[in-house]
Structure 1
Amino acid sequence: MQESLRSRQWFGKQGKDGFIYRAWMKNQGIPADEFTGKPVIGICNTWSELTPCNAHFRELAESVKRGILEAGGFPVEFPVMSLGETLIKPTAMLYRNLVSMDVEESVRANPLDGVVLLCGCDKTTPSLVMGACSVNLPSIVVSGGAMLTGKFNGRDIGTSDIWRFTDDLRAGIMTEEELNLAEAGMCRSRGHCAVMGTASSMACMVEALGLSLPGNAAIPAADAGRKVLAQLSGRRIVEMVREHMRPSDILTRAAFENAIRVNAAIGGSTNFVIHLLAIAGRIGVELDMDDFDRLSANIPLIANLQPSGKYFMEDMFYAGGLPAVMKELLPCLHGDAVTANGKTVQENVQRCTSLNREVIAAMDAPFNPQSGVVVLRGNLCEAGAVLKPSAASPQLMQHTGRAVVFENIEDYKARIDDPELPVDENCILVLKNVGPKGYPGMPEVGNMSLPKKLLARGITDMVRISDGRMSGTGFGTVVLHVSPEAAAGGTLALVEDGDLIRLDVAGRTLSLLVEDAVLEQRRNTRKAFENPYMRGYTRLYVEHVEQAHLGADLDFLKGGSGSEVLRDSH
């Protein structure tokens, strides 16, 4: 076992090289026998006070260390760039691929035999998994957990209510004082968003894929069980190293299909699509947009959670967590898929059950028959676009309307509340140039707030279309991830005020009702996108980012790099 450990290429060497590798580590007070063949386990930590969702990760890492030590491993904690969804500008998504590079290079370049990925806030989970997949050393995920449910005026609130509160304030229904009280009661504890937003969707994703221990997704951050799971994960990663269990052994095609079906059943974020595609590209599993539509088509919504439902992640935990959801779904899942604990999906969930049918319903009596992600095609989205039917309005699922076009986010902000804006509830709001290249980074602005004058009339939803994304906490009849994006020359760039657009969710189409000859004329006179970023990572990103239907990864990061270090500096 000792000689097969990758870390022995560092700590097992004699002479000058071994002296250097061991001596400087010993200045931390590490005894010599720690270097004699224990599996070295990296704890990849996205702790940062600028990432409030992950601000408790120092403490969580201590629990992981205890587990690693108990199992005979040698824990070493290291930082990587952290992405705080609520603070970072212009958008955390711009830096997802950069963090994945940080993880990949940090893991490969150091004497690690396995790695524990500590992640919570939206982009930290896919970025860490993407990086770990590229190196393909034994890896296990520990999520940070959701915060406790918020409280305001005697009722439960969560992040999804931000959109409602904002619209109520603009419509004069809510006062600034009431908004301040809601703000004070929203984030009551450590952890990420309390609803089935992107962070919780990502925690469910890694559990459904088999990259974490069962139960990882739903334990609240403030619950002692979160530390227990972290400690058990520390024990398990040492065993995984001894068993040579790598991400490629877990992330099979079957695992990806399980994750898609689970995401449908929980009403997971549309961001799930773009992140799972990127992970598949790193591990070498063939996956495309149509898989999401096809695999989730017959899966009903059984988790009654905001934004598609009523309850919160804390309630899901009390109702049995994701294992209870997966037990209901088991006939639709690949039960023989192996998971990080060495057991199959079926073995993990066969004794689980829903403890509250209001929160986790049965497959034959679902909370909502509409679920998953619909993939749209048509001349307005040649490579695809997505819509989340469980968060949309039924009366708008088949709709033809006049386009009200905003060329970019600044244009939208400047004009959306203009009383003279020629818009009514039958119109379709179109936002361009918020895709991967155009923004850059594809921000979460797709669920545009409605015009103030329509909110004042009680209008709460309209069809909205963009090449951007939507927060997993958002809702509405929102078409997202239009591909190719406007900046890449997609038809979206050619839409003008007054054009008719037809959305047909049942028919899976999104069509711009303009003659081809007219579109060609517009295309010939359109000014091509020019990258204004002349330096640094942003320039690299714009020049190499792929389109949304491919996962918006950088083209040169597809596939794996392996764990071999090319050269020994000593």
Structure 2
Amino acid sequence: MVRTIADPRTRSRQVTEGPERAPHRAMLRATGLGDDDLRRPLVGVASSWNEVTPCNLHLDVDARDVKQGVRAGKGTPIQFTTIAVSDAIAMGHEGMKASLVSREIIADSVELMVVAEAFDALVAIAGCDKSLPGMMLAIARLNVPAVFLYGGTIMPGHFDGRDVTIGDVYEAVGAHAEGRMTDEELYRLECVACPGAGSCGGLFTANTMASCVEALGMSLPGSAAIPAVDPGRPQVCRETGEAVMRLLAGGVRPREILTRKAFENAITTLVAMGGSTNGVLHLLAIAREAGVPLALADFDRISRKTPHIADMRPGGRYTMADLQKVGGVPVVLKELLDGGFLHGEALTVTGRTMAENLKGVRRPEQQDVVRPVGRPITPTGTLAVLSGSLAPEGAVIKTAGVRRLVFRGPARVFEREEDAFDAVVHRRVTPGQVVVIRNEGPKGGPGMREMLAVTGALFGQGLGEDVALITDGRFSGATHGISIGHVAPEAANGGPIAVVRDGDMITIDVPNRRLDLEVPAEEVQSRLRAWRAPEPRYRTGALAKYAALVGSSAQGAVCL
């Protein structure tokens, strides 16, 4: 797409021109800007850099390189940061309630900075689970020329001759509790699992969302799988800065790229790669900001017809660094495009279409990270949307690597994650049970916590295929097994999950997309009439605000 606009400085002129803006310019000059800088478009370079987590540890360096690209494109870059919660460190305790809340705060904070400082364009750099969708929410909401840049995956660790990720450490906790791993072995694994900067190494939530954003067309081709420590990162950072200047010059805005076809491309990529169920939540939210109708049914429809072709952890064998070795996300996209599963005409931030970007990309032979569409891992995709008497508005399961797709068992009910985890590690959960963790939804938690500590402990104890887990909360991208999340309506809103009792039989039937409570409908209604909503867990602060504003997970858990 080749276009030009009359004035790429429409926004920044509000603070850089005219005698009445002398105070504004004085402040900008104090930051080191001069006359030439103030005559150029002002470009916000937002990152979630911090020292809290390896996912974001290096983003200040990425931002520096992006700024070089902006300057090369005749723009004036101005860097700022936002928050980023480490999901891995917040996992398994109260801190995880802050994770999904942070997505909204990131989006709001970037929006406010771009509005307040009158930036003409935006580069958004993120590394951890909620900072990626948070940045994309802001991009869609603001609709100023923008490019997203992912901070990149961590490299795998090495333990006893095999590659490991943070997911292995969570599962090791269960193995240790079971007596199958010693203190010394757990300590050695802990010390080598995360060797440096970058986001968790499997196709967990950050790598999932990076792949989806590339499929949306909002990041440069090939950028999603480049590791954080790869020597090629400075170049892609500079190219990202140059790309946003071309978009600004051409007047191309995010909502021209974030179309219905782009979201269908992203969903196709998600289910072809075995990505995180969090991708459902985040794509729904981003689509809402972009004004694109999208529903849970779209994910199930696309998954039913899309082959699973990327053998990625946690359900498969390979890490994101392995994917990069065979050509990265473009190899997946090209295979899907040639198979007729993608909309090749969708526009991207290069100014070219998806199909044009993928010309010349070929799937390497003699590797099995990415399969041909004619010889997939499974003929259908890796997400299923279930509904039934236990989830009238829907629930989500990731099927990658799951061998048991039909399960029936008695409920073992817990009112919060900590109680379930305690029961698992002390071996009070037995094969055949269906663990139900409720009051962990967007409103009830609040914050819709991830249950990786519980699922990791189950797998570590060898129960991953023998115990099912159902929750109105979420699961980490590192979760695998019979784990069903996003049950809606959630317990706090009086969904049927609120009145499940120990011993009630529950049937999970993934092929038929059913999740049913085997209790007569009149009995369920009687229980619901007697049910009373629990008292809010927080009455002040960010979590209380979130609980008051957040909507259903079936619509992306957005704040209205």
Corresponding residue number in structure 2 for 1:293: 300
C-alpha spacing 1:516/1:40, structure 2 compared with 1 (3 Å)? same
Contact 2:421 2:454 in 1 (8 A): no
Alignment match, 1:327: 334
Letter in 1 for 2:226: I
Counterpart of 1:415 in structure 2 is 423
Percent of pairs identical after alignment?
36
Task: Label 1:4 to 1:218 Cα distance change in 2 as closer, same or farther (>3 A).
Answer: closer
Residues 67-106 of structure 1: pairs in structure 2 closer than 5 A: 67-88=69-90, 89-91=95-97, 92-106=99-113
Q: Structure 1 residues 308, 414: CA separation in 2 closer, same or farther (over 3 Å shift)?
A: closer
Cα contact 1:446–1:466 (8 A) shared by 2: no
Range with bigger deviation, 482-491 or 156-165: 156-165
Relative to 1, partners in 2 of residues 1:510 and 1:235: Cα closer, same or farther, differing over 3 Å? Answer: same
Q: Please give the residue correspondences for 1:302-341 in structure 2 after superposition, counting only pairs within 5 Å.
A: 302-330=309-337, 331-341=340-350
Pick closer, same or farther for the CA change 1:226–1:527 going to 2, 3 Å: same
The aligned amino acid for 2:555 is L
Q: Which amino acid aligns with 1:195?
A: G
Amino acid paired to 2:367: R
Q: 1:456 to 1:79 in 2, by over 3 A?
A: closer
Q: Verify the 8 A CA contact 1:6 1:112 in the aligned structure 2.
A: no
Q: RMSD of the TM alignment (CA)?
A: 1.8
User: Which residue is 2:28 aligned to?
Assistant: 25
Structure 2 counterpart of 1:5, which letter? R
2:411 matched to 1:403? yes
| SS of residue paired to 1:522 | helix
- Give secondary structure in 1 for the equivalent of 2:86: coil
Tell me the amino acid that sits aligned with residue 554 of structure 1.
Answer: C
Q: Which residue of 2 is the match for residue 65 of structure 1? A: 67
| Distance (whole Å) between structure 2 residues aligned to residue 243 and residue 402 of structure 1 | 60
Deviation at 1:10, TM superposition (A): 2.6
Question: Quick one: distance in 1 between partners of 2:285 and 2:509?
Answer: 28
Partner-residue secondary structure (3-state), 1:216: coil
For 2:463 and 2:515, locate their aligned partners in 1 and report how far apart those are by CA, in whole Å.
Answer: 27
Q: Which moved more, 1:250-259 or 1:355-364?
A: 355-364
| SS across alignment from 1:297 | helix
Q: Take 1:156 and 1:372, find their aligned partners in 2: how far apart are those partners? A: 23
Question: Across the two proteins, how many residue pairs are aligned to each other?
Answer: 548
Question: Mean alpha-carbon deviation: is it higher for 493-502 or for 353-362?
Answer: 353-362
Q: 1:64-213, aligned counterparts within 5 Å? A: 64-88=66-90, 89-91=95-97, 92-213=99-220
SS of equivalent residue, structure 2 residue 88: coil
The SS at the match of 2:261 is: helix
CA 1:10–1:413: 2 relative to 1, 3 Å: same
Amino acid corresponding to residue 34 of structure 2 in structure 1 = P
Given that residues 41 and 113 in structure 1 are in contact (C-alpha distance below 8 angstroms), is that contact kept between their aligned partners in structure 2? yes
* Equivalent position SS for 2:400: helix
For residues 211-250 of structure 1, the C-alpha deviation after alignment (integer angstroms, 9 at most, x for no partner) is 0000011011111212211100001101111111111010
The amino acid across from 1:61 in the alignment is A
How far apart are 1:360 and its partner, in Å?
Answer: 1.0
| Residues 154-163 or 141-150, more deviating | 154-163
User: Counterpart amino acid of 1:367?
Assistant: I
Q: Does 1:439 align with 2:445?
A: yes
Task: Give 1:309 shift.
Answer: 0.8
Query: How do 1:28-67 residues align onto structure 2 when only pairs under 5 Å count?
Result: 28-36=31-39, 38-67=40-69
In the TM superposition, what is the alpha-carbon distance from 1:160 to its structure 2 partner?
2.6
1:13 is the counterpart of 2:17: yes
In structure 2, what is the Cα distance between the partners aligned to 1:381 and 1:41?
45
CA offsets per residue over residues 395-414 of structure 1, 9 Å max, x none?
A: x3112211111122233244
2:464 touches 2:481 (CA, 8 Å); kept in 1? no
**Contact 1:447 1:470 (8 Å CA) reproduced:** no
C-alpha change, 1:447 and 1:430, in structure 2 (3 Å) is farther
Contact 1:425 1:459 in 2 (8 A): no
Q: Match for 2:476 among 471, 474, 485?
A: 471
Q: Residue 392 of structure 2 aligns to a residue in which SS?
A: coil
Q: Is the 8 A contact 2:46 2:122 kept in 1?
A: yes
Distance 1:451 1:254 in 2: 39
Which amino acid is 2:433 matched to? C
Kept in 1: contact 2:475–2:485 (CA 8 A): yes
| Partners of 2:397 and 2:453 in 1: CA distance | 11
Q: Secondary structure at the match of 1:404?
A: strand
Tell me, yes or no, if the aligned pair for 1:133 and 1:248 is still in contact at 8 Å: yes
How far the C-alpha of 1:130 sits from its partner, in A, is 0.3
**1:472 to partner: Cα distance:** 0.3
CA contact under 8 A between 1:416 and 1:450: conserved in structure 2? no
TM-score, normalized by length of structure 2?
0.94
> Secondary structure of the residue that 1:99 maps to in structure 2?
helix
Q: Distance in 2 between matches of 1:51 and 1:417?
A: 27
Instruction: Describe the SS at the equivalent of 2:344.
Output: coil
Residues 450 and 462 in structure 1, CA contact (< 8 A), matched pair in contact too: no
Q: For structure 1, which segment, 22-31 or 125-134, has the greater mean C-alpha deviation from structure 2 after superposition?
A: 22-31
State whether residues 171 and 460 of structure 2, in contact with CA within 8 Å, keep that contact through their aligned partners in structure 1. no
Range 154-163 or range 442-451, more displaced:
442-451
Contact 1:370 1:389 (8 Å CA) reproduced: no
CA contact (8 A) 2:174 2:461 kept: no
Distance of aligned partners of 1:55 and 1:459 in 2 relative to their CA distance in 1, 3 Å threshold? closer
CA shift at 1:456, angstroms?
A: 6.1
Whether the aligned pair in 2 keeps the contact of 1:446 and 1:464 (CA below 8 Å) is no
**Partner of 1:112: helix, strand, or coil?**
coil
Tell me the amino acid that sits aligned with residue 547 of structure 2.
V
Determine if the alignment matches structure 1 residue 428 to structure 2 residue 437.
Answer: no
Give the structure 2 partner of residue 346 of structure 1.
Answer: 355
- 1:87 counterpart SS class: helix
Judge conservation of contact 1:324–1:354 (CA < 8 Å) in 2.
Answer: yes
The letter for the 2-side match of 1:407 is E
Secondary structure at the aligned position of 1:52 is classed as: coil
- Residue 292 of structure 2 corresponds to residue 276 of structure 1: no
**Residue of structure 1 in register with 2:507 after alignment:** 502
* TM-score normalised according to structure 1 size: 0.93
Deviation at 1:459, TM superposition (A): 6.6
SS of residue matched to 2:55: helix
**Kept in 2: contact 1:121–1:192 (CA 8 A):** yes
- Paired residues of 1:461 and 1:476 also in contact (CA < 8 A): no
Q: State the alpha-carbon separation in 1 of the partners of residues 356 and 211 from structure 2.
A: 18
Cα displacement string for residues 364-391 of structure 1 (whole angstroms, at most 9, x for unaligned residues)? 1113335321000101001000011113
**Contact 1:107/1:132, CA 8 A, preserved across alignment:** no
Quick check: 441-450 or 316-325, which moved more? 441-450
Q: What's the CA shift for 1:460?
A: 4.9
Could you tell me how far apart the structure 2 residues matched to 1:524 and 1:468 are? Answer: 23
User: Are 2:542 and 1:547 aligned?
Assistant: no
Shift of 1:161: 1.4
What is the CA-CA distance between 1:428 and the residue it aligns to? 1.0
One-letter amino acid of the structure 2 residue matched with residue 425 of structure 1: P
Give the aligned partner of residue 565 of structure 1.
Answer: none
Q: Aligned-pair distance for 1:21?
A: 1.4
Secondary structure at the aligned position of 1:141 is classed as strand
- Provide closer, same or farther for how the CA distance between residues 22 and 507 of structure 1 changes in structure 2, counting only shifts above 3 A: same
Unaligned runs of 5+ in 2: none
Q: Output the CA distance in 1 between the equivalents of 2:419 and 2:134.
A: 31
